[in-house]
Protein backbone atom coordinates (compact mmCIF):
# COMPACT_ATOMS: atom_id res chain seq x y z
CA UNK A 1 0.00 0.00 0.00
CA UNK A 2 1.23 3.53 -0.75
CA UNK A 3 1.10 5.77 2.30
CA UNK A 4 1.98 9.42 2.85
CA UNK A 5 2.71 10.01 6.53
CA UNK A 6 2.11 13.59 7.64
CA UNK A 7 4.91 15.15 9.66
CA UNK A 8 3.01 14.69 12.95
CA UNK A 9 3.09 10.90 12.60
CA UNK A 10 5.64 9.24 14.89
CA UNK A 11 8.76 7.93 13.13
CA UNK A 12 8.36 4.41 14.66
CA UNK A 13 5.04 4.11 12.79
CA UNK A 14 6.72 5.08 9.51
CA UNK A 15 9.54 2.60 10.14
CA UNK A 16 7.11 -0.22 11.00
CA UNK A 17 5.05 0.37 7.86
CA UNK A 18 8.18 0.32 5.72
CA UNK A 19 9.35 -2.89 7.40
CA UNK A 20 5.94 -4.42 6.66
CA UNK A 21 6.52 -3.76 2.95
CA UNK A 22 4.47 -0.61 2.44
CA UNK A 23 5.79 2.27 0.33
CA UNK A 24 5.85 5.25 2.70
CA UNK A 25 6.65 8.89 2.02
CA UNK A 26 7.19 10.93 5.18
CA UNK A 27 6.57 14.68 5.11
CA UNK A 28 9.05 15.18 7.97
CA UNK A 29 11.79 13.74 5.73
CA UNK A 30 10.68 15.50 2.54
CA UNK A 31 9.28 18.96 3.24
CA UNK A 32 8.49 19.82 6.87
CA UNK A 33 6.01 22.65 7.19
CA UNK A 34 4.15 21.77 3.98
CA UNK A 35 0.58 23.12 4.00
CA UNK A 36 -2.29 20.68 4.46
CA UNK A 37 -3.48 21.37 0.92
CA UNK A 38 -0.03 20.53 -0.48
CA UNK A 39 0.14 17.38 1.64
CA UNK A 40 -3.19 16.23 0.17
CA UNK A 41 -1.98 17.11 -3.31
CA UNK A 42 1.17 15.04 -2.90
CA UNK A 43 -0.86 12.12 -1.55
CA UNK A 44 -3.11 12.29 -4.64
CA UNK A 45 -0.12 12.43 -7.01
CA UNK A 46 1.49 9.46 -5.25
CA UNK A 47 -1.81 7.53 -5.21
CA UNK A 48 -1.29 7.18 -1.46
CA UNK A 49 -3.45 7.02 1.62
CA UNK A 50 -2.76 9.97 3.92
CA UNK A 51 -1.78 8.97 7.46
CA UNK A 52 -2.10 11.83 9.94
CA UNK A 53 -2.75 12.83 13.54
CA UNK A 54 -4.16 16.20 12.38
CA UNK A 55 -7.96 16.46 12.59
CA UNK A 56 -7.93 19.37 10.12
CA UNK A 57 -7.73 16.87 7.26
CA UNK A 58 -11.20 15.66 8.21
CA UNK A 59 -12.59 19.12 7.53
CA UNK A 60 -10.73 19.33 4.22
CA UNK A 61 -11.88 16.00 2.80
CA UNK A 62 -15.33 15.69 4.39
CA UNK A 63 -16.69 19.24 4.60
CA UNK A 64 -14.72 20.96 1.83
CA UNK A 65 -14.61 17.81 -0.35
CA UNK A 66 -10.91 17.94 -1.20
CA UNK A 67 -10.03 14.86 -3.23
CA UNK A 68 -8.08 12.10 -1.49
CA UNK A 69 -7.43 8.41 -2.06
CA UNK A 70 -8.19 8.02 1.64
CA UNK A 71 -7.31 9.55 4.98
CA UNK A 72 -6.31 7.65 8.12
CA UNK A 73 -6.57 9.71 11.32
CA UNK A 74 -4.62 8.44 14.32
CA UNK A 75 -6.27 8.94 17.71
CA UNK A 76 -3.64 7.13 19.78
CA UNK A 77 -2.45 9.80 22.24
CA UNK A 78 -0.93 8.26 25.34
CA UNK A 79 -0.22 4.96 23.61
CA UNK A 80 3.43 3.80 23.74
CA UNK A 81 5.23 4.28 20.38
CA UNK A 82 5.75 0.56 19.70
CA UNK A 83 2.07 -0.15 20.39
CA UNK A 84 1.02 2.72 18.09
CA UNK A 85 3.18 1.28 15.32
CA UNK A 86 1.82 -2.23 15.85
CA UNK A 87 -1.78 -0.98 15.85
CA UNK A 88 -1.37 1.03 12.63
CA UNK A 89 0.38 -1.77 10.74
CA UNK A 90 -2.29 -4.23 11.89
CA UNK A 91 -5.16 -1.92 10.87
CA UNK A 92 -3.73 -1.30 7.40
CA UNK A 93 -3.05 -5.01 6.88
CA UNK A 94 -6.61 -5.95 7.89
CA UNK A 95 -8.63 -3.00 6.55
CA UNK A 96 -6.36 -1.47 3.87
CA UNK A 97 -8.63 -2.07 0.87
CA UNK A 98 -11.62 -0.64 2.78
CA UNK A 99 -9.59 2.50 3.63
CA UNK A 100 -9.39 3.47 -0.05
CA UNK A 101 -12.02 6.16 -0.67
CA UNK A 102 -12.69 6.51 3.04
CA UNK A 103 -11.93 8.53 6.15
CA UNK A 104 -10.62 6.08 8.74
CA UNK A 105 -10.03 6.68 12.44
CA UNK A 106 -7.67 4.34 14.29
CA UNK A 107 -7.97 4.48 18.06
CA UNK A 108 -6.92 2.12 20.82
CA UNK A 109 -10.28 0.35 20.81
CA UNK A 110 -11.64 0.67 17.29
CA UNK A 111 -11.05 1.21 13.61
CA UNK A 112 -13.89 3.30 12.15
CA UNK A 113 -14.18 3.61 8.37
CA UNK A 114 -16.48 6.16 6.74
CA UNK A 115 -16.77 6.50 2.94
CA UNK A 116 -15.68 9.92 1.68
CA UNK A 117 -18.59 10.10 -0.75
CA UNK A 118 -22.23 9.36 -0.30
CA UNK A 119 -22.87 5.92 -1.88
CA UNK A 120 -26.26 7.22 -3.10
CA UNK A 121 -24.72 10.04 -5.11
Predicted confidence (pLDDT) at residue 88 exceeds the cutoff of 80:
yes
Domain region containing 38? 2-115
Tens-digit pLDDT profile for residues 54-73: 999 988 998 888 889 999 99
pLDDT at 96: 96
pLDDT tens column, 11-46? 999 999 999 999 999 999 999 899 999 999 999 999
Q: Read off the CATH number of the domain in which 78 is found.
A: 3.40.50
What percentage of residues in the chain have a pLDDT greater than 70?
97
Query: What gap in Å lies between CA 72 and CA 1, rounded to an integer?
Result: 13
Domain-embedded: residue 121: no
- DSSP class of residue 87? H
Q: How far is CA 84 from CA 12, 63, 103, 107, in A?
A: 8, 28, 19, 9
On whether residue 12 sits in a domain, the answer given is yes
User: What's the pLDDT at 121?
Assistant: 44
90 contact partners, CB below 8 Å, separation of at least 6: none
In a domain, 120, yes or no: no
Count: domains in the chain = 1
Amino acid sequence: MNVLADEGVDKPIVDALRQAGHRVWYVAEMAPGLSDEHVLGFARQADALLLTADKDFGMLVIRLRYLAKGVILLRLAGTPPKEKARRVVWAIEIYGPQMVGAFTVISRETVRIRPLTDPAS
